[in-house]
Amino acid sequence: MRAASVFSVLATIISFANADPHGACGCQINTDGALDDDTTDTCCTRFGGTSTFLTTSKKVRFSGKYCLHSKIDGNSWYNCCRQFIPNGDSACPW
């Protein structure tokens, strides 16, 4: 019983250590596809960020709306996008 508790705590710590924090993310209609502004806005509201339009640049591969917020968890963002776009993906340039 105690080993299971220790394992559970370690798994939680590892999941936080493996979190993939980003400062800007957008929802895509599919892998390598265009950004979906409405879905990005919806997820951004859930994450408490600010939506802004970014054009392509050295860091930004896809132009469109991105959510700006410090420490966006990449996995959580991806899952939010997929709730609204089942075949969707996410783009997080930084």
**Dihedral of the CA atoms 71, 74, 79, 82 (nearest 10)?**
120
Give me the pLDDT at residue 19, please.
61
Model-wide pTM > 0.95? no
Contact 62, 56 (CB under 8 A): yes
Give me the pLDDT at residue 10, please.
36
Please report, for the chain, the start and end positions of each structural domain, with discontinuous segments joined by +.
20-91
Which residue is it, tokens 């951004």? 44
Separation of alpha carbons 7 and 76, rounded Å: 23
Provide CB contacts within 8 A for 16, sequence distance 6+: none
Q: In the CATH hierarchy, which fold is given to the domain comprising 20-91?
A: Alpha-Beta Plaits (3.30.70)
pLDDT in tens, the chain (94 residues): 454 443 333 333 334 445 679 999 999 999 999 999 999 999 999 999 999 999 999 999 999 999 999 999 999 999 999 999 999 999 999 9
**Dihedral of the CA atoms 7, 9, 10, 13 (nearest 10)?**
160
